[in-house]
Amino acid sequence: MILAATAIAGLAACSGNPGAEGINDPYEPMNRQVHAFNRGLDANVIKPATSGMSSGGDKPGVGSYALQGIGNFGSNLAQPGKALNHVLQGRAEPAVKTTFRFLVNSTLGLAGFLDPATADFALPEQDTDFGQTLAVWGVPEGAYLELPLLGPSTERDTVGRVVDLVIDPMHAVLNLDEWLIGLGARAVSKAGERARFSDSVDSILHESADSYAQTRLIWLQHRRHELGEEGDEIDPYAE
Amino acid sequence: MTLMPNETRRGFLGLIGAGIALTAMPAQALDTAQASSLVQKSLDEVYAVINSGQPSAQMYKSFEAIFARYADVDIIARSALGPAARQASPAEFEAYKQAFQGYIGRKYGKRFREFVGSKIEVTGARPVKSFFAVTSVAYLKGRSPMEVEWHVSDKSGKSRYFNIIIEGVNMLASERAEVGAMLARRKGDMAGLTADLQKAG
């Protein structure tokens, strides 16, 4: 882990300073190619495949309940990894609550398909990941990256994703096939989100003048907000 | 996939923000209580349109009217255009501003369905730089609560909103990038940009 932190710090040091709007994107030509691929994949495969997954509106269909269950199941298996990251960040309360959440949903929640922890125990998911742990440890964000299939990231978050897969405590409990099923359930749940947030995704990915720049800006702003790293407020009257 | 955690969170809130304002402000300067009540008042107005059951096209027009009445459209349009705003002639800028206003009304108005059955609670206000930031929480069906921050200023002579930040995602910065890209596509031609904005959103 320390090695990973050192590696990302080194990477971040290599990739220069943030430019306009606090965006540090020295790999833009490569990122744009990946974006074109992701966008084509979304238009031709993901969007058509997921359009039936969400019935939308006020009447959720059987399909959306099934999807919710699969999402819950995948998400539950991710909780031990999140608890570990809370610990690594020195945050005891979310670590304990995340652990209880995992125990409640694994038992009363029928292996995680249901989510009584949120509904009845006031233990909602407290999201985190190793990218955030690196941020807490003071590792700089590094350059912006758009990853094939996975979408927007940074050098720090990309290292975080890899480390999260390696340090997942569920490796101790599950064999590789079982662990991959959990990962697959999370991917299915992501695909369900594509359907639920269809209008928003279409607006950014397929309707904006420069979908690469919009995606990069919106993702970076939101990620920095999550990590408490957002920049200064804009004061257009002072410009 | 290429999903972002937050892609939905700007959307229609942009429009709701349009309602932030006072029509007839007292002479004294804006304070936190007034800034908060502006947000509350504007939210009530936008929800009234959402719940009116009008046809969509008519709703977009109502939203655009709220935006034009209550937002500082001039500063938002100017900021979105960036340095080109200083080079444009007054007539060019005015035409662009009108097109921009319609574009905002359609683009954010399209998202009203996400707000049916939702509520937004104003939670506080604080001074920031030369303006006020009003904080609120949006509760949308089937989603985690979202933090929504509204930036309100009386620098234009009236109290108006000029920016909305939803879970860190900033409407002004986002429209700067979008309008900048549209202008670049037209190689800096203002008339071309204005024509594109009239069709966009």
Q: What is the pTM of this model?
A: 0.84
The predicted pLDDT at position B92 comes to: 95
pLDDT digits (tens, 9 = 90+) for A87-115: 999 999 999 999 999 999 999 989 889 99
- Per-residue pLDDT band for A238 (boundaries 50, 70, 90) equals confident
Q: Residue B90, class by beta-carbon neighbours within 10 Å (0-12 exposed, 13-18 middle, 19+ buried)?
A: exposed
The residue that leads in pLDDT, A71 or B78, is: B78
Domain locations in chain A?
2-9+31-50+61-227
Q: Does A227 touch chain B (CB under 8 A)?
A: no
B9–A217 C-beta distance less than 8 A: no
- The total number of residues shown for chain B amounts to 201
Which candidate from A190, A207, A230 shows the least CB-CB separation from B1? A190
Give CA separation, B22 vs A23, A156, B154, in Å.
Answer: 36, 44, 10
Report the run of H or E that residue B68 belongs to, with start and end. Answer: helix B56-70
Residues of B in contact with A205 (CB under 8 A): 2
A219–B110 C-beta distance less than 8 A: no
Mutate to test the interface with A, among B3, B186, B194 (most CBs of A within 10 A): B3
Here the ipTM equals 0.80
Q: Where are the alpha helices (DSSP H) in A108-151?
A: 116-121, 130-136
pLDDT digits (tens, 9 = 90+) for A26-48: 999 999 999 999 999 988 888 88
**Whose CA is closest to B63, among B4, B121, B104, B25?**
B104
pLDDT digits (tens, 9 = 90+) for A113-127: 999 988 888 899 999
Structure tokens at B54: 């009008």
Q: Distance between CA atoms of B27 and A62, rounded to whole angstroms? A: 57
DSSP B71: B
Q: Distance between CA atoms of B162 and B71, rounded to whole angstroms? A: 6
A225–B3 C-beta distance less than 8 A: no
A41–B110 C-beta distance less than 8 A: no
**Cβ–Cβ < 8 Å for A171, A179:** yes
- The beta strands (E) that lie in A12-150 are given as 144-147
The predicted pLDDT at position B21 comes to: 39
B168–A225 C-beta distance less than 8 A: yes
Distance in Å, alpha carbon of A86 to nearest chain B alpha carbon: 20
Q: Distance between CA atoms of B156 and B192, rounded to whole angstroms? A: 28
Interface of A with B in 140-159 (CB under 8 A): 149-152
The predicted pLDDT at position A59 comes to: 53
Residues of A in contact with B185 (CB under 8 A): 209
Taking 60 as the threshold, does the pLDDT of residue B183 lie above it? yes
Residues of B in contact with A210 (CB under 8 A): 177-178, 181, 184
Q: A72-81, A195-204, B122-131: lowest mean pLDDT where?
A: A195-204
Question: Phi and psi at residue A161, in whole multiples of 5°?
Answer: -60, -45
Q: Does A181 touch chain B (CB under 8 A)?
A: no
